[in-house]
Amino acid sequence: MKQNALSPMAKIWHVVGLIPKGKVSCYGKIADLAGLPGRARYVSRALKLAPKQLNLPWYRVINSQGKISFPENTPAYIEQIQLLRSEDIEVNRGKIKLSTYKWHPDLATLMLELAY
DNA sequence: AACATGACGCGTC
DNA sequence: GGACGCGCCATGT
């Protein structure tokens, strides 16, 4: 019985919401944590479709190369950089140092969070 | 039904 | 580092 199981998309939204201020994560990593290994592209779709009212920190999700995935000089690209810098995250030419800013979630806590 | 398109990732060269 | 190729799969045409 899995009556309380969150939909894959809801799990993604949930995990993204857990990324702490000042930290970043990657599409593929979020997919892994949400139980959808190999589904990085699904994470990008989920973020695009996420209701505004959830107030998700979508800008804390970047690609595995540590770079912003929007094309340069697009409104979204510029907005993402501004939001990241507002949290004291350094962004140079669309790139963030993962060694410094990557989120390392506590897996035990995460499992409890996603259990229902 | 078939094909193209992504806010991606990884291995290879 | 950069450029490809391929895997991935829900959506849109």
DSSP letter string over A82-104? Answer: HHHHTTT---BTTB--HHHHB--
pLDDT in tens, A48-91: 999 999 999 999 999 999 999 999 999 999 999 999 999 999 99
pLDDT tops 90 at residue A1: no
Mean pLDDT computed over every residue of chain A: 92
Q: Which pLDDT tens digit goes with each residue over A94-105?
A: 999 999 999 999
- Footprint on protein of nucleic strand B, Cβ below 7 A: A 26-29, 40-41, 43-45, 47-48, 50, 58-59, 61, 63-65, 69-70, 76
A98, two tokens:
């993962």
For the question of whether the overall pTM of this predicted structure is more than 0.95, the answer is: no
Q: Which nucleotides of B are covered by protein (CB under 7 A)?
A: 6-10
